[in-house]
Structure 1
Amino acid sequence: MSSKKILVLISGSGSNLQAIIDQVHLSDEPGNIVAVISNKADAYGLERAANAGIETSVVASKGITDRAQYDQALISEIDNYQPDLIVMAGFMRILTPEFVQHYSGKMLNIHPSLLPKYQGLNTHQRAIDANDEEHGASVHFVTEELDGGPVILQAKVPVFSDDQAEDLAARVQDQEHRIYPLAVKWFVNNRLCMQGGKAVLDDVELPEQGYAND
């Protein structure tokens, strides 16, 4: 099986990037990270990539108010690498429909909630405020709907009565570092794809909440 080229988009510390480096890039899986691109020059994830010998690039978004203009610049940079898979790992930008369509079926994202619950920001505090008994993370294909693409895989964590948002975030992030590399492995092994707006694993359409990794 030929190796798949993975490109990772980041904005910050890159902890999910590190998990994918450790569990996919530096393993025997048929997938290698060919580049890490950040919209922020000071993102620590760039250092993580450099330490692993991965090429890095910055397409700075600061001062650019035209989303379409920025996304075109980003597309130009990404297409230099001709990736088979684009992994969004804490990339804090809302993408234009044109960008999403350009890479349809080739982009994954991880979101810190049990989608379709709590799309958008501040998910941990929202789960606490709602007195939820469980919370978690979801890996999904990226579509034009914000945090609305078909879910591939979810992991759940308990919400305790004395939780602060930071406590819950740490518990969720531990699970993110397990499930995101797993979904990437499925993709590079040709087990995972998006067909007809649905996530398909091993030729079986996944349910709305994806595969449960309890």
Structure 2
Amino acid sequence: MKVAILASGNGTNFEVLAKHFKTGDIPGELALLFCNHPTAAVMERAARLGVPAESFTVKSCGGKQQYEEKLLSLLQSYQVDFIALAGYLRVIGPTILDHYPHRIINLHPAWLPEYPGLHSIERAFEDHRQETGVTVHYIDAGLDSGPIIAQRRVPILPTDTIESLENRVHETEHQLYPIALKQALEKEKNNL
């Protein structure tokens, strides 16, 4: 099974997943990294790890619909069967969602359904919550509303700053996402 990872930024979760693919801990082949920001650090990580990488922007395509059509064509050219979002800061529209039903998963830095959307860590921190979490879920047409694959709680300590909480959330993501992606890919393989 060929997997594409879609990312927008630094790429720490991409790198963790790529290393798990290389060791065979995650089944399948990491066929492609796609990034919607050509100068993002994740592109350098992909080059260093030897993962094919492609990038273009919505603006360069002339709009969201053309962007999604070009992205779908790219995914098909790499014969991608499954998509993992790792810090991909765009909503997946129907062009791609309809082509990959129940075959796109997302990593979200909160205990869904709490804090969907952007700035989840900051919002939980500012609300003085005692804990937040990490969720891996299938995506659907809603915002962070698809079926949940795995979740893990992250305590918010009285001594935390936004930075220390972000670091613990990211550590938890790095632990949970490979396990959840492996589980989702094995389930998909069994359904074929």
Is the TM value for this pair above 0.5? yes
Measured after TM superposition, the shift of residue 67 of structure 1 is 1.6
Match of 1:198 in 2: none
Measured after TM superposition, the shift of residue 135 of structure 1 is 0.7
Q: Given the alignment of the two structures, is residue 26 of structure 1 paired with residue 23 of structure 2, yes or no?
A: yes
| Mapping 1:126-137, distance limit 5 Å | 126-137=123-134
Q: Given the alignment of the two structures, is residue 113 of structure 1 paired with residue 98 of structure 2, yes or no?
A: no
Structure 2's unaligned 5+ residue stretches are: none
Q: Sequence identity of aligned pairs in percent? A: 34
Measured after TM superposition, the shift of residue 149 of structure 1 is 0.7
> What is the rounded CA distance, in whole Å, between the counterparts of 1:172 and 1:179 in structure 2?
10
Task: Confirm or deny: 8 A CA contact 1:11 1:91 kept in the other structure.
Answer: yes
Structure 1 residues 97 and 50, CA gap change in structure 2 (3 angstroms): same
Aligned counterpart in structure 1 of residue 178 of structure 2, from 175, 181, 193: 181
SS of alignment partner, residue 5 of structure 2: strand
Match of 1:45 in 2: 42
Structure 1 residues 76 and 44, CA gap change in structure 2 (3 angstroms): same
Match of 1:60 in 2: 57
> What is the rounded CA distance, in whole Å, between the counterparts of 1:44 and 1:37 in structure 2?
12
Cα RMSD between the aligned structures?
2.0
SS of alignment partner, residue 57 of structure 2: coil
> What is the rounded CA distance, in whole Å, between the counterparts of 1:65 and 1:90 in structure 2?
23
Task: Confirm or deny: 8 A CA contact 2:72 2:95 kept in the other structure.
Answer: no
Decide which structure has greater strand share: 1
> What is the rounded CA distance, in whole Å, between the counterparts of 1:122 and 1:49 in structure 2?
25
Measured after TM superposition, the shift of residue 29 of structure 1 is 3.9
Measured after TM superposition, the shift of residue 79 of structure 1 is 1.0
Measured after TM superposition, the shift of residue 130 of structure 1 is 2.0
Q: Given the alignment of the two structures, is residue 156 of structure 1 paired with residue 153 of structure 2, yes or no?
A: yes
Measured after TM superposition, the shift of residue 190 of structure 1 is 3.1
Structure 1 residues 193 and 162, CA gap change in structure 2 (3 angstroms): farther
Task: Confirm or deny: 8 A CA contact 2:117 2:144 kept in the other structure.
Answer: yes
Compare 120-129 and 131-140 and name the one that shifted more: 120-129
Aligned counterpart in structure 2 of residue 96 of structure 1, from 77, 80, 93: 93
> What is the rounded CA distance, in whole Å, between the counterparts of 1:74 and 1:163 in structure 2?
39
User: Aligned AA for 1:136?
Assistant: G
Runs of 4+ in 1 over 4 A off after TM superposition: 191-194
SS of alignment partner, residue 190 of structure 1: helix
SS of alignment partner, residue 98 of structure 2: helix
SS of alignment partner, residue 114 of structure 2: coil
TM-score, normalization: structure 2? 0.91
> What is the rounded CA distance, in whole Å, between the counterparts of 2:134 and 2:128 in structure 1?
17
Task: Confirm or deny: 8 A CA contact 1:186 1:192 kept in the other structure.
Answer: no
How many residues matched? 191
SS of alignment partner, residue 19 of structure 2: helix
> What is the rounded CA distance, in whole Å, between the counterparts of 1:80 and 1:191 in structure 2?
21
TM-score, normalization: structure 1? 0.82
Match of 1:139 in 2: 136
Match of 2:10 in 1: 13
User: Aligned AA for 1:17?
Assistant: F
Measured after TM superposition, the shift of residue 92 of structure 1 is 1.1
